[in-house]
Chain A
Amino acid sequence: MTQDQPVRGPTAVPAPSAVPRPAAERAARLRAQGLTLGYEGRAVVEDLSLDVPDGLVTTIIGPNGCGKSTLLRGLGRLLRPRAGAVTLDGESLDRLSTRRIAQGIAVLPQAPTAPEGLTVADLVSRGRHPRQRWYQQFSSGDEQRVREALAATGVLEFADTPVDELSGGQRQRVWIAMTLVQETDILLLDEPTTYLDLAHQVEVLELVHRLNRDLGRTIVMVLHDISLAARYSDHMLCMHDGAIVASGAPDEVVTADLLAAVFGLAAHVVPEPVAGRPHVIPLSPTAAPAVP
C-alpha cells in the first residue's frame, strides 16, 4: 500500500528471475526438514523446513531473537538439531563427520576470535584444515588458495600482519577469506556486516555479490539492515518467533505489511533509485519533521 506512494524513477525490480521454483529440476543441496533447534530448555526454532536455493544469495531477516542466527547455526551444524535434520546432498549432517561437512559448507560465525598475534596468512591458512593431513600442513596448492582468497577479499597486503592490528572492516574480510579457502559451494555468513560502518558494510556485501556471481557460490546470510539485504539478495526469508513467515524475491518479502506485522514498524517501502529494489523508510511520528 505504501508502495503506491507517488514515486518517480525505476519502479520495476529487475533481476530476481532466477528465484527457484520449489522442487523444479532437482532438490536443493542444503535442506532443513522439520528442524527444531534450541538452547538449554528453550526451543528457538520449531519444526522448520527450508530448501536453500542453489547458486543464489539468500538473506534471512527478522527481529531480534526470532531465531535467524540459531537457524544459520543449525544449517552449519554448529547447533545440533533436537528434532528433524539438516541435509547436504540428501545426507543428514548428523551422519557426516565435521571435517566432511567443512568440505561442503563454510560458516562465518557471529563473533569469531583469533588468538593474539596470529597473522592474517596464518589464520586464513587454517581454513584449509579440512583438506589437509598431518603430513600435508601447507602445500603449494594450499598457499595458492590462501593467496587467491586474500586477493579476492582485498587483504593480501596485510598477509603478515597480526589480525588484532587490523580495523573492523579489514578483519571481517579476513574472516570471510578464511571461509573462502575452504573451497565450499555453500557459504553461511552470520551478520557479516555487524559493527561495520556503511561503507564497509557495502564493501563486504559487494564481495558476497561477486562470490556468488563469479564463483557461483550459494550464500546464506543473516543481516539486520533490510534495505541492504534487499539490495544484495536474490532470495529473502523473514523469520518471526522461530518460523519462516515470508520467503521469496526481495520485493515479495519486503513490504510495509510485513514490516508492520513482524517488526511492529510503520514504514514506507519504496523502490530505491539505483536498482529499484525495495527500500525501507521508517515512519516516525516524532523525529525529523518535514523540511518545509
Chain B
Amino acid sequence: MTRNAFASTAGAGHVTGQNAARDAIRGAHSEAAPVPRSGPAGPVADGATVGCVPAAASGAGFRSVRVLRAGPVSLRFRPRELLVAAVLTAALLVAVTVHVALGGTPIPFGQVLAALAGQPVEGGVGLVVTEFRAPRTVAAVLVGACLAAAGAIMQTVARNPLASPDILGVTSGASAGAVAVLVLAGSGAVGVAGLAASVGMPAAAFTAGLAAGVAVYLLAYRRGIDSYRLILVGLGVDGLATALTTWMLTLGDVTNAAQALTWMTGSLNGKDWPLVLPLGAAAAVLLAAAVAAGRWLLLGALDRDTAVAIGLRLGRVGLLSLTLAVLLAAVATVVGGRVVFVALASPQIARLLTGSPVPPVAVSALVGAVFVLVSDAVAANLFATPLPVGVVTAVLGAPYLIYLVMRPPRRTS
C-alpha cells in the first residue's frame, strides 16, 4: 500500500516533469517539422520522382542488366556468360580431339581431324576413329553435359549446392536397376548378353533411375519442396539403392560382379553407336529444354513467398524442372553408369566462372562435358591399367565437395 501511494505521487511528479521535457522536445520538433509529415520540402520532392522521373534519370541502362532490344523483343544476356561459353566451346572441341586421339594407341591429331571430317585416312584409322572411338567420345560429352545440367537445375530448385542427382538417389537408383537385370538375367557363366544387355539393362537403369527420382520427390513433398527435406530423403533413397545393389551383387557370380562394377563406378568402356545415338538424340532434346527452363530458375531461387508473389507458378515450375533434371540424370546414367561428382561440381564451377547468382544451365553443361572428357582421357592413359572414368571424376570432385562444405556460409538477404 505504502508503495502504491509512493508510486502515485512519484507518478504525478513524473508527469509534470515530462511535460516540461515534452515541450522542449516539441520545440525541437517544430523547427524540424517539415521533415516528418507536413512539410513539402523533403519528402514531397522525393515523392515527385515516383510519378515522373527527371530526364537525367532515364537513358543509359544498368551495368548489371544487359539487354538486346529489337522492336517488341528484348532479351537479357550476361556478357561474361557468353564469353565463358565461347571459351568453353573451344575447350570442348580441343578436348574432343584429344579424347579421340588418346583413346587407345595414340593417333596423330592430323589423322584424327581428317577422319572426323570424313576424309580417307590410311590403314583403318578412319574406322577406328569413327566406329570405335567417336562413340565413346560422344558418350563422354553426353554424360558430362546431362549430369551437369541436371545438377544445375537441382541445385537451383533445391536452393542448395549439395543437391545433385548423385545425392538425390537418381544415379544410384539407375545403377541398381542395371545390376538387377545383370543378376536376374545373367545366371549363366558368360554374364549378360544379347537382348538383356543391349536393351534390358539400359531400360531397367532408366526406369529405376526415374523411380528413385519420383520416390524422392513424393516422399519429400509436403505443401511444396523444402531443400533440406529433399536432400535428406534423397540421401536415404540413395543409401537404400546402394545397399540393394551390394546385396544383389552377392547373389550373382564373379563375372557379373565385374560387369556390375562398371555400372557402380561409371565407365565409358565399349560404348557403341546403337546405344549412344538414340540416347544422344534424347539428351539433345532434354538439354534444349533445360536451357529454356533456365529463365525460371533464377526466379525460383528467390524465397518461396517472393517467387509466388511475382507470379511464378512455383509448384508447376519446380515439378517440371525436377522432372527434366531426373530425366537428364537417368539418360546419363544409362550411358555411363554412375559417374560421380560431375553433377555436383560442374554447376558450381560454372557459377564461379560466370559470376552468375545461380548456375547457368548451358555453361554448366559445357563444363560437365569437358570435365568428363578430360577425366576419361586421364583414366584411360595415366595408369598402366585403364581405370573407369568414375574413379577419376571422384578423385577430382571429392576435394571440391570438401571445399564446398568448408566454405564460409552464404549470406542471404
> Which A residues contact B (CB, under 8 angstroms)?
5-9, 73, 76-78, 97-103, 106-122, 125-127, 129-130, 134-140, 142-144, 146-148, 151-152, 154, 156, 159-160, 163-164, 166, 171, 178-179, 182, 202, 206, 209-211, 213-215, 273-275, 285, 289-292
Q: Within the assembled complex, what's the spacing in Å between the Cα atoms of A6 and B51?
A: 44
Contact A137 B49 (CB under 8 A): no
Q: Are B47 and A214 in contact (CB under 8 A)?
A: yes
**B310 pairs with A119, CB closer than 8 A:** no
| CB nearest to A129 among chain B residues | B310
CB-CB < 8 A to A78: which residues of B?
305, 308-309
Are the CB atoms of B36 and A129 closer together than 8 Å? no
Stretch in B138-146, B208-216, B353-361 with 4+ CB within 8 Å of A: B353-361
Interface string of B295-309 (1 = CB under 8 A from A): 100110111011011
B309 in contact with A151 (CB, 8 Å): no
Contact A136 B29 (CB under 8 A): no
> Beyond A99-B311, A148-B49, is A160–B64 a contact (Cβ under 8 Å)?
yes
B51 CB contact (under 8 Å) in A154, A156, A214: A214
B17 within 8 A of A: yes
Check A130–B310 contact: CB distance below 8 A: yes
The answer to whether B10 touches A289 (Cβ under 8 A) is yes
Does B1 make an interface contact (CB < 8 A)? Answer: no
Known pairs A148-B49, A210-B50 / 5 extra A-B pairs, C-beta < 8 Å: A144-B58, A151-B53, A151-B57, A210-B47, A274-B29
B62 touches A160 (CB 8 A): yes
B23-41 residues with Cβ-Cβ distance < 8 A to A are 23, 25-26, 29, 33, 36-37
Given A121-B65, A214-B51, A116 contacting B302 (CB threshold 8 A): no
What 0/1 readout, one digit per residue, does chain B (191-208) give for beta carbons within 8 Å of chain A? 000000000000000000
Is the C-beta of B61 less than 8 angstroms from some C-beta in chain A?
Answer: yes
Q: How far, in angstroms, from A148 to B48 measured CA to CA in the complex?
A: 10
Q: B41 to nearest A CB, angstroms?
A: 13
Question: For residue A100, which residues in chain B have a CB less than 8 angstroms away from its CB?
Answer: 311
**A290–B13 CB distance below 8 A:** yes
Whether B357 and A117, one on each chain, are in contact in the complex, defined by CB atoms closer than 8 angstroms, is yes
Nearest A residue to B315, CB-CB = A98
Q: Which 5 A-B pairs have the closest CB atoms?
A: A102-B311, A109-B305, A290-B14, A130-B311, A99-B311
Q: Please, how many angstroms separate the alpha-carbon atoms of A5 and B334 in the complex?
A: 81
CA distance A274 to B299 in the complex (A): 43
Point out the residues of chain B lying under 8 angstroms from A99, CB to CB: 311, 313
Known contacts A98-B312, A290-B14; decide if A166 and B305 are in contact (CB<8 Å): no
CA distance A144 to B52 in the complex (A): 10
From A98, A142, A290, contact of B313 by CB (8 A): A98
Determine whether the beta carbon of B310 is less than 8 Å from that of A126. Answer: yes
A9, A130, A209: the one within 8 Å of B26 (CB): A9
Residues of B within 8 A of A136 (CB): 72-74
Contact A117 B413 (CB under 8 A): no
Give 1 or 0 for each of B384-413: 1 = CB within 8 Å of chain A CB: 000000000000000000000000001111
B19 within 8 A of A: yes
A156 / chain B contacts, CB cutoff of 8 Å: 57
Do the beta carbons of B14 and A291 come within 8 Å of each other? yes
Q: How far is the CB of A205 from chain B (nearest CB, A)?
A: 10
B309: nearest chain-A partner, CB-CB: A107
A116 with B412: CB separation less than 8 A: yes
In the complex, the answer to whether A214 meets B48 with C-beta atoms within 8 Å is yes
Chain B residues with CB below 8 A from A209, complex form: 37, 43
Do residues A116 and B53 form an inter-chain contact, with CB atoms below 8 A?
A: no
B104 within 8 Å of A (CB atoms): no
Q: Measured between alpha carbons, how far is A134 from B299 in the docked complex, in Å?
A: 13
Beta-carbon nearest neighbor of A161 in chain B? B64
> Can you name 9 A-B residue pairings with CB atoms under 8 Å?
A78-B308, A100-B311, A102-B311, A111-B303, A115-B358, A130-B310, A152-B47, A210-B46, A290-B13
Q: How far is the CB of A171 from chain B (nearest CB, A)?
A: 5
B75 at the A interface (CB under 8 A): yes
User: Using Cβ atoms and an 8 Å threshold, which residues of chain B touch A137?
Assistant: 67, 74-76, 295
Q: Which of these, A115, A206, A289, A290, contacts B302 with CB under 8 Å?
A: A115
The minimal Cβ–Cβ distance linking B300 to chain A, given in whole angstroms, is 10
Q: Are A159 and B64 in contact (CB under 8 A)?
A: yes
Are A152 and B302 in touch, CB under 8 angstroms?
Answer: no
CB–CB A274/B309 < 8 A:
no
* B120 at the A interface (CB under 8 A): no
- Within the complex, the shortest CB–CB distance from A189 to chain B, in Å, comes to 11
Cβ B65 vs Cβ A210 within 8 A: no
Contacts of B91 in A (CB 8 A): none
Enumerate chain B residues within 8 angstroms of A146, measured Cβ to Cβ: 62
Given A126-B310, A206-B43, A116-B64 contact (CB < 8 Å): no
Q: Which residues of A contact B412 (CB under 8 A)?
A: 113-114, 116, 164
B14 to A, closest residue via Cβ: A290
Interface residue from B7, B159, B357, B413 paired with A285 (Cβ < 8 Å): B7
Contact between A143 and B53 (Cβ–Cβ < 8 Å)? no
Contact B51 A215 (CB under 8 A): yes
Is the beta-carbon distance between B310 and A102 smaller than 8 angstroms?
A: yes
Assess the A213–B310 pair: CB atoms within 8 A. no
CA gap between A109 and B10 in the complex, in Å:
45
Residue of B nearest to A206 (CB): B43
Report the bound CA distance from A164 to B408 in whole Å: 14
Contact assessment for A98 and B357 in the assembled complex, using a CB-CB cutoff below 8 Å:
no
Report the bound CA distance from A274 to B25 in whole Å: 10
Which residues of chain A come closer than 8 Å to B74, judged between CB atoms? 135-140, 142
Q: B79 contacts the other chain (Cβ, under 8 Å)?
A: no
Q: Is there contact, CB below 8 Å, between B413 and A166?
A: yes
Q: How far is the CB of B43 from chain A (nearest CB, A)?
A: 6
B11 in the interface, Cβ–Cβ < 8 Å?
Answer: yes
Assuming the contacts A6-B15, A126-B299, A152-B46, asked whether A135 and B63 have C-beta atoms less than 8 A apart, the reply is no
Provide the residues of chain A in CB contact with B306, threshold 8 Å: 109, 112-113, 178
Q: Roughly how many angstroms separate A5 CA and B15 CA in the complex, as a whole number?
A: 9
CB distance B65 to A122 under 8 Å?
Answer: yes
Does B356 lie within 8 Å of A117, measured CB to CB? yes
Does B75 contact A73, Cβ atoms closer than 8 Å?
Answer: no
Residues of A within 8 A of B49 (CB): 148, 151-152
> Do A113 and B76 touch (CB < 8 A)?
no
> Distance (Å) between the CB of B303 and the closest chain A CB?
4
Q: Are B46 and A112 in contact (CB under 8 A)?
A: no
Name the distance in Å between A121's Cβ and chain B's nearest Cβ.
4
